[in-house]
Amino acid sequence: MTDITHEGHGPDTFEARLQRQAQNLRRLKVERGDPSLRRIAARAKQISRGALLPIATQNAAFTGARFVSVDKIMLLVRTLMSWDENGEEVPAPDRRDPVLEEWRHRWRATAELRPRRSTVAKDSVLGRPPDEPTGAQAHVPRAPQVSGTAEAARSVEASGRVRRSAAAAPTGFISLLYEPLTSQPVHAVAFSPDGHFLATASSDGSVQLWDPATQPPVGHLLPTNRDWPVLGMAFSPDGALLATASRDSTVQLWDPATCTPVGAPLTGHSQPVLAAAFSPDGSLLATTGLDGTVRLWNPTTRASIGQPLTGHEGPAYAVAFSPDGTLLATASRDSTAQLWNPTTRAPIGQPLTGHKGPVRAVAFSPDGTLLATAGHDGTVRLWNPATRAPVGQPLTGHKGSVYALAFSPGRMLATTGLDGTVRLWDPVKRTPIGQLLTHHSEVVYALAFSPDGTLLATASRDGRMYRAAEGGRSTVKGLPLQLPSS
């Protein structure tokens, strides 16, 4: 259940309460599969027998740009609660369901601080505050609107330059500067193998390529269905291909050099595709999705290889190849991670268990001696891939689900998740490195290190670029990057 931000967090003003309500609504939206505004409008009409929830009203509620009446807020909350965390429809709570009382109480508290009109409006007499801002409200700065096709969930913040010497041990890692990379939510992020490209997948279904060194965009890839966002990305080892996994249940291959699609989309998954990974030699592409299957493809012929890998009792959230290509690891909602032989397509041993809830991410260390898994239980667990045995106690500290993790080329592990923080670890000592990175204001869904380990990119709703330095040495502050209009 969504942790509702309470009054004690920040100033107790009308504007501050509006923003806290908006933050809670955005968090609930993310936790319920991040439906688009159009889907919310259609679903609201369905569960309320015809009541309207216009996109403009949703924008106002999600951004805190203006006051929204209690009936619309409650309809929005009920509608969001009519999906589970994977975006699958579930029964909506009744209007009198106790789960709504906290939301209703917060709305009343906000309404009490609302600036009064000089004259009494008709809607106020009827007990329903109007939606339109007046008086002091008209001067409240409007937050950026949420796109009608936006799936404000896995938003990418290409966060950061991390300067550290190649031979230095991962200590003293200190974040310094944070710059917006995009103005809209992004779901995934990936560096090309040579480090020349940073790819970000935005909530409007587009994929943007950036020059990480100078920051300008260098290409604009347009997936075939702009209504369905890209949820995962991966470059091939030679950098000649970029694979994008989409909510429309397809995978598209692209030529990053020309920003053009390579062939038709790969089809086979029956539900949204969540992740993709190339084998180290580039001969295989593995994809996972909400249908719980793992599919292997030949990137050259774009043909599927054999039957899907099955065994998970729920959606498969993540996939990763070991550095030598002999192992494939997957993470699932069924609370397990599984190792596979990608050649025989057979599972290796029993599933890895220990997480109390869905496993969201998997990653191998550069030398292949460790496998890291991240869970809905807020922990990160380390495993020996050869013996499938846990290594030490779980890494703890995150408040809420850990959605992503990545190893640097050296000895560093980065983790992030629902609490919006980025934590750095020494995976050998299993101890934190440096300070907690807390500049994200929203959920962070993905992250990636550049091939040389000097950049850390994170995928979050607030679209920032992290710039950091070891030992406090400042880096040059870059300018905000803006996506070109489509």
Q: What is the DSSP string of 139-171?
A: GSPPPPPPPTT---SS--B---EEE--TTS-S-
Count of Cβ atoms closer than 10 Å to residue 462 Cβ: 23
Nearest CA to 332 out of 298, 303, 355 is that of: 355
User: 432 — phi, psi (to 5°)?
Assistant: -65, 155
Residue with tokens 């054999």: 306
| pLDDT at site 389 | 96
**Banded model confidence at residue 212, pLDDT cuts 50, 70, 90:** confident
| pLDDT at site 79 | 93
| pLDDT at site 116 | 60
**How far apart are the C-alpha atoms of 341 and 350, rounded to whole Å?**
13
Look at residue 337 and tell me whether its pLDDT is greater than 50: yes
| pLDDT at site 467 | 43
Q: Which of 4-13, 25-34, 149-158, 451-460 is predicted most confidently?
A: 25-34
Supply the pTM of this predicted model: 0.66
Tell me the three state secondary structure of residue 173: strand
**Banded model confidence at residue 88, pLDDT cuts 50, 70, 90:** confident
| pLDDT at site 434 | 82
| pLDDT at site 173 | 35
**Banded model confidence at residue 125, pLDDT cuts 50, 70, 90:** very low
| pLDDT at site 329 | 97
Q: How many residues does the chain have?
A: 486
| pLDDT at site 404 | 94
Tell me the three state secondary structure of residue 6: coil
Q: What is the mean pLDDT of residues 205-219?
A: 75
Angle between the N-to-C axes of helices 70-80 and 55-63, in degrees from 0 to 180, rounded to the nearest 10: 90
Chain segment 375-410, per-residue pLDDT in tens: 999 999 999 999 999 999 999 999 999 999 999 987
Distances (CA, A) of 318 to 96, 153, 165, 191, 289: 38, 16, 31, 17, 8
What percent of the chain stands above pLDDT 70? Answer: 76
Chain segment 289-306, per-residue pLDDT in tens: 999 999 999 999 999 999
- Residues 434 and 466: beta-carbon distance below 8 Å: no
Point out the least confidently predicted range of 160-169, 173-182, 273-282, 305-314: 160-169
Residue with tokens 């869970």: 375
**How far apart are the C-alpha atoms of 235 and 276, rounded to whole Å?**
9
Burial class of residue 457 (count of CB atoms within 10 Å of its CB; 0-12, 13-18, 19+): buried
| pLDDT at site 56 | 80
Average pLDDT of the chain is: 77
| pLDDT at site 464 | 57
- Residues 294 and 307: beta-carbon distance below 8 Å: no
Q: What is the mean pLDDT of residues 26-30?
A: 89
Distances (CA, A) of 262 to 201, 222, 296, 299: 18, 12, 17, 10
Point out the least confidently predicted range of 8-12, 267-271, 283-287: 8-12
Q: What is the mean pLDDT of residues 447-472?
A: 67
Chain segment 185-202, per-residue pLDDT in tens: 778 899 999 888 888 887
| pLDDT at site 172 | 33
Rg for the chain, CA atoms, rounded: 23
